[in-house]
Amino acid sequence: MKNESIKIFQKKKQVILEKWITIQSQDQGLNNDLITNEDLRVQSEELLYTFIDNLTDNNIENPDSRDFENVLDILSSISISRAKQGYSPRETGFYVYSLKEALLSVLNEEIKDSSVLYTQSMAINKLLDSFTISTFETFIKGREDVIFRQTDEITQISTPVIRVWDGILALPIIGTLDSSRTQVVMESLLQEIVDTGSSIAILDISGVPAVDSLVAQHLIKTVSATRLMGAECIISGIRPEIAQTVVHLGIDLSTIITKATLASALKTAFVMLNLEVNKKQRNKTV
Sequence spans of domains, the chain: 4-154, 162-272
Q: How open is the CA angle 247-250-251, to the nearest 5 degrees?
A: 90
Domain 4-154 architecture: Orthogonal Bundle (1.10)
Distance CA 22, CA 105 (A): 13
Contact 272, 259 (CB under 8 A): no
pLDDT at 154 over 70: no
Contact 103, 43 (CB under 8 A): no
Measured over all CA atoms, what is the biggest interatomic distance in the chain, rounded to whole angstroms?
Answer: 110
pLDDT of res. 206: 87
Q: What's the CATH fold of domain 162-272?
A: Transcription Regulator spoIIAA (3.30.750)
In tens, the pLDDT along 199-257 reads 999 999 888 887 788 888 888 888 999 999 999 999 999 888 888 888 888 888 888 89
Distance CA 117, CA 121 (A): 6
pLDDT of res. 236: 93
pLDDT at 163 over 80: yes
pLDDT of res. 1: 38
In tens, the pLDDT along 80-109 reads 888 888 888 888 888 888 999 999 999 999
Q: If you ran DSSP here, which 8-state letter would residue 204 be given? A: E
State the alpha helices, DSSP H only, in 158-260. 179-196, 213-228, 240-249
Nearest Cα to 156, choosing from 116, 178, 125, 185?
Answer: 185
